[in-house]
Structure 1
Amino acid sequence: MDRFILLMLASILSGFALLKVPLEGSFLESLQPVTDVIGLLAILVFSLFLIFKGVMALVGK
């Protein structure tokens, strides 16, 4: 189970990395809005999942 939680944390970090990646001046500059949306979704989904797992562990299920 610890490896699964570490995978979720790594996914959150990769979402932050997608938000901070500099694409200005490259041929990928047009993809900047797409990478921002994917990064935000990754952060939100995996953070909410970790919060849910934490609440379920506190409740005892």
Structure 2
Amino acid sequence: MDNFVFLYLACILAGFALINLPLAGSLLAGIKPVTSLIGILTILVFSLVLIFKGIIALVGK
């Protein structure tokens, strides 16, 4: 199994953390849409990588 699987899972969790980052009432409240977009893209990319790795492992290549 690939050694980076736990790193991919950590990246997915970091994406969820970016989405749920409480920025209301701070000076950084204006970048909330940017952090949400980065979080969503991070979750999608690393989830797709994990799905791809799983399919490759099932096929046996």
TM-score computed with the length of structure 1 as normaliser: 0.95
Matches within 5 A, 1:40-59: 40-59=40-59
Which structure 1 segments of 5+ residues have no match? none
1:3-40 residue CA offsets vs partner (Å, 9 max, x unmatched): x1000000000000000010000000000000000000
After superposing on structure 2, the runs of 4+ consecutive aligned residues of structure 1 that deviate more than 6 Å are: none
| Unaligned 5+ runs, structure 2 | none
The one-letter amino acid of 1:22's match is P
Task: Give the corresponding residue for 1:36.
Answer: 36
Let me know the Cα RMSD of the aligned residues. 0.6
The TM-score, its normalising length taken from structure 2, stands at: 0.95
Count of matched residue pairs = 60
